[in-house]
Amino acid sequence: MPELPEVEVTRLGISPHLVGKTLQGAIVREPRLRLAVNPDLDARIAGQPLRQIRRRGKYLLLDIDSGSIMIHLGMSGHLRVLPRETPVVKHDHVDLLFSQDICLRFHDPRRFGVLCWLEAADAHPLISRLGPEPLGPEFSGDYLYVHSRQRQIPVKAFLMDAHQVVGVGNIYANEALFDAGIDPRRPAGRISLERYRRLAEAVRRVLEAAIQQGGTTLRDFTQPDGRNGYFRLSLAVYGREGQACIRCGKILQGIRIGGRATTYCSHCQH
């Protein structure tokens, strides 16, 4: 599933082509996504300029005067800015039509994505309950320390809880914990303030590096221009179970935490 860096790369890729242009409607070929596409989407958006495209966690919000179009890429979705006459292929479910004969095309083979209209996006339960952005000013080691007290869950599960901090998915939680030298199994409430400050810095560093490198291509993700992301070439632990640690040379261990694959170095992380 595309994580925060992949979604941010998508936002950065499509924004210059669309912001400021006028929406002229929508073509919905398949409304049965994870949430049903609004049957009156075309009428709701036609004639309104796109003011901005922002990201909240893994959701994209296309803001117009009367509300927002919320998009989630799901397991396999991607967005492309294309000339309207570009031939449609299988799984091209929705086109958002813009002035100058261009469209934003939503392609999603598995249909786990979301594209729906919201009058007040920030009040929607999928958005309003999210924790702070890991690249924003509210996120810090002090924040993590305060919210982790008395928590016995593994720190990796705590870091991936979107109610605590949004958008730190499995790949980047593995990488940030390795960067900070913290064992992913360690109870969240037993980590010191100093180590949480180190972890917060690691989270930012890892996410920013992934964004700069176009995300991590795993299975279905590509950038909006069709190119692959290259952060996968920099992965220190994720997907490297049984290989040598890049720091100490010991064999990386693999376990499952919260049902998710977790790889760590028992020597470097404690």
Catalytic residue among 56, 58, 156, 198: 58
Q: Is 260 a catalytic residue?
A: yes
Q: Give kind and range of the element (H or E) at residue 209.
A: helix 193-212
Distance from C-alpha of 182 to C-alpha of 163, rounded to nearest angstrom = 21
Q: Is 90 a catalytic residue?
A: no
Catalytic residue among 3, 6, 8, 175: 3
The torsion of the CA quartet 78, 81, 85, 91, rounded to 10 degrees, works out to 10
Catalytic residue among 2, 134, 154, 224: 2
Catalytic residue among 84, 111, 186, 260: 260
* Residue the block writes with tokens 């996410």: 207
110 is in an annotated binding site: yes
Q: Is 2 a catalytic residue?
A: yes
- Provide long-range contacts, Cβ within 8 A and 24+ apart, for 107-111: 107/77, 107/78, 107/79, 107/80, 108/33, 108/73, 108/74, 108/76, 108/77, 108/78, 109/76, 109/220, 110/74, 110/75, 110/76, 110/77, 111/30, 111/32, 111/33, 111/34, 111/74
Q: Is 30 a catalytic residue?
A: no
91 is in an annotated binding site: yes
> Quick check: 231 and 209 in contact, CB under 8 A?
yes
Phi, psi (5° rounding) for residue 82? Answer: -140, 155
Contacts of 159 (CB under 8 A, 6+ apart): 144, 165, 168, 173, 176, 177, 199, 203
227 is in an annotated binding site: no
Residue 107 in tokens = 């392609």
Which residues carry out catalysis? Answer: 2-3, 58, 260
Residues annotated in a binding site: 91, 110, 151
Residues annotated in a binding site for DNA: 91, 110, 151
